[in-house]
Chain A
Amino acid sequence: GAVVSQHPSRVICKSGTSVKIECRSLDFQATTMFWYRQFPKQSLMLMATSNEGSKATYEQGVEKDKFLINHASLTLSTLTVTSAHPEDSSFYICSARDAQIGVYTDTQYFGPGTRLTVL
């Protein structure tokens, strides 16, 4: 149980284009999902918190107009990197908090990540 998927797993795009990454909780409902970014040999940095049916909450320093987040259902959140530039190249990881057990354990389950390369 508690499986989170991401699509695509890897994407290469040209500078100036937009890229959408999907995060799905496959066997549980997630009222809250989180988006992280990880540069090579570094730790994960939280970018934003995505709440179903409401606007995302962005961490300080993260451009909300550049990283658009939509959480339209209890099992799907999307991150769109708009007008991507080479410095946006990174490993993007989502996580989901189980709406049922979260009250008791607050455990987050992580997707496999999406490696974005902007040329």
Chain B
Amino acid sequence: GIQVEQSPPDLILQEGANSTLRCNFSDSVNNLQWFHQNPWGQLINLFYIPSGTKQNGRLSATTVATERYSLLYISSSQTTDSGVYFCAATVAGTASKLTFGTGTRLQVTL
């Protein structure tokens, strides 16, 4: 099956800093989503982005499907951005089954 790797595994930022999280996948995908898992475990949809670029406030994401990677940009980070960020991908013909990446644990400090 598809392998989804994320980097870095851990990241500590000071409030106000910018960061880039990377997601590499081993196969062509027809669905790529980014999630934020808050400290209580809730997964929050950030982006559905199988290709192209999207922006939502301080967050933006870019997926280059032909090169099999996606990037999540966080600008002007806030302490509420802390948590774990997952990307997840679906390969065509797998009945919409999402394979989650390894995650990036982000801690934003004052």
Contacts and interface: CB of A to CB of B under 8 A. Distances in A.
Interface of chain A, main secondary structure: strand
Contacts of B100: 36, 43-45
Contacts, number: 56
Interface stretch (A15-23, A65-73, A78-86, A103-111): A103-111
Contacts of A24: none
B40 A44 contact: no
Contact residue range for chain A?
20 to 34
Contact of A43 (B33, B48, B102): B102
B41 A91 contact: yes
B20 interface: no
A106 B40 contact: no
B96 A93 contact: no
Given A43-B100, A43-B101, A107-B48, A93 B41 contact: yes
Contacts of B43: 44, 93, 95, 110, 113
A62 to B, nearest CB: 13
Interface string B74-103: 000000000000101010000111111111
Given A43-B100, A106-B48, A112-B41, 12 more contacts: A32-B95, A32-B96, A36-B100, A41-B105, A43-B103, A46-B98, A93-B41, A93-B43, A95-B43, A102-B96, A108-B98, A113-B41
